[in-house]
Amino acid sequence: MTSSHYDVIVLGSGPGGEGAAMKIAKGGRRVAVVEHYREVGGGCTHWGTIPSKALRHNVRRLMEFNSSPLFREAGEPRHVSFPTMLRHAGQVIDQQVGLRSWFYQRNDVPVINGKARFVDDHTLEIDTPEGRVTRVTADFFLIAAGSRPYRPDDVDFSHPRICDSDQILNLDHTPRNMIIYGAGVIGSEYASIFRGLGVKVNLINTRDRMLAFLDDEISDALSYHLREHGVLIRHREEYEGIEADEQGVTLTLKSGKRLRGDLLLWANGRTGNTDGMNLESLGVMPNGRGQLEVNHDFQTAQPHIYAVGDVIGYPSLASAAYDQGRYAATHMLEGHCNYRLAQDVPTGIYTIPEISSVGRTEQELTEARVPYEVGHAFFKDLARGQISGQTVGMLKILFHAESLELLGIHCFGDQAAEIVHIGQAIMAQPAPGNTLRYFMNTTFNYPTMAEGYRVAALNGYNRVA
């Protein structure tokens, strides 16, 4: 059995692990990364963010082509299969793996493939794919092992008619109709993707409304446009049982409804990848969903063992995980960290149309009794939206009714995840630079979607002037 010592060992090569490993390597310390999968990148690259967003991008382009009056003059509507879309998404994954592998090579960070478990406070044993056992020790550890789809025991995921959000990426055909159980971010995104391919979709939401963490107006807009595209949404439903056969799958709901489809996609919850690490023997106890509790410096119950990303739960975003990893690495290197992570983390949801927001919602401001006002810019009124044909959506600014301080930016529509960053940058400025006046007094290129900030600002200012 071989053995090596490092200053830091990182478990997981997703955004959180990569951010930490690069920071530690550039700080002059010896660091190694343990990755269970055969390639680096983590769930973000192989099963989550990259493949689903690549799929969504190509489906949106197909929808744009098929709905454009100009292109209709050039030929008949085009139909592309789901496996074909997957092959194109695979090209992006390969490019990302190559890039991320080069990061580790360039910074002399060894990547050890295998499944790791703690032997004691400072020792790991790694079962390699070749059947060998490697033992490594370190002063610090960072757990960034990510998450996987939650699988209830009474659902048969070995049946070809039932899949989770990882298995869907191996689908070898385009179903005629499907049931998606779970209307969270993943379920909503895949509902958009499959409906864009012409698949009939039943979307089952276990809650009262879709994506309840969003501003109500944005959540309502998403529900409306999914229905307008033909997605059938069923709220406040829970499953009683799932039966699959060679012809299809039947979902029985507690309300008495029985739904039949070619395929069922389970998209209801995630589980942290902490099982098998033997953390319990160290007093680091995962909760029922495999998540770890950490303090404000991302330390677990063992101060030399840190955790970031999906294994600590909210916000479970690749962007946030990367920043968390760099923060934790800085704390390991210096014993403290002088910078604080941003409190307002932007949310990007890649439905069709997409959604992005940063800051507080109307509900939160109302509950906090903050006097606020609203400014809107509707994409249908923007020249760039009319030129591009992307007229569905809006930009919404929430601001203090007296000081005009920006309190929240919410965007629904094409390029929402890009557009929101303009508002995010201004919100982060010290007073008085973080007010509505910035957008009112700034000249924007015309025609652009960014011009919506000026339109929304003037719309809101007219309510208080």
Summarised one tens digit per residue, pLDDT across range 264-318 is 999 999 999 999 999 999 999 999 999 999 999 999 999 999 999 999 999 999 9
Question: Which amino acid would we find at residue 79?
Answer: H
Question: CA 425 to CA 361: how far, in whole Å?
Answer: 18
Please name each of the domains of the chain with its CATH number.
2-149+271-334 (3.50.50.60), 162-268 (3.50.50.60), 353-464 (3.30.390.30)
Question: Which amino acid would we find at residue 8?
Answer: V
Q: Determine if the pTM surpasses 0.85.
A: yes
Q: Supply the pLDDT for residue 74.
A: 66
Q: Is the pLDDT of residue 2 over 70?
A: no
Quick check: 125 and 20 in contact, CB under 8 A? no
Q: Supply the pLDDT for residue 69.
A: 74
Question: CA 170 to CA 192: how far, in whole Å?
Answer: 18
pLDDT in tens, 307-351: 999 999 999 999 999 999 999 999 999 998 877 777 789 999 999
182 closest CA partner among 204, 162, 201: 204
Largest CA distance in the chain: 75
Question: CA 117 to CA 278: how far, in whole Å?
Answer: 6
The tokens of 228 are what?
């307008």
**What percent of the chain clears pLDDT 70, i.e. is strictly above it?**
98
How large is the angle between the packed helices 216-228 and 185-196, nearest 10 degrees? 30
Cβ–Cβ contacts within 10 Å for residue 379, how many? Answer: 25
Sign of CA dihedral 137, 319, 64, 180: positive
Long-range CB contacts (within 8 A, 24+) of 331-334: 331/297, 331/298, 331/299, 331/306, 332/8, 332/24, 332/140, 332/142, 332/306, 333/23, 333/24, 333/27, 333/29
Q: Supply the pLDDT for residue 284.
A: 97
Which residues, in sequence order, are CB contacts of 250 under 8 Å at separation 6+? 242, 243, 244, 258, 259, 260
pLDDT in tens, 241-263: 999 999 999 999 999 999 999 99
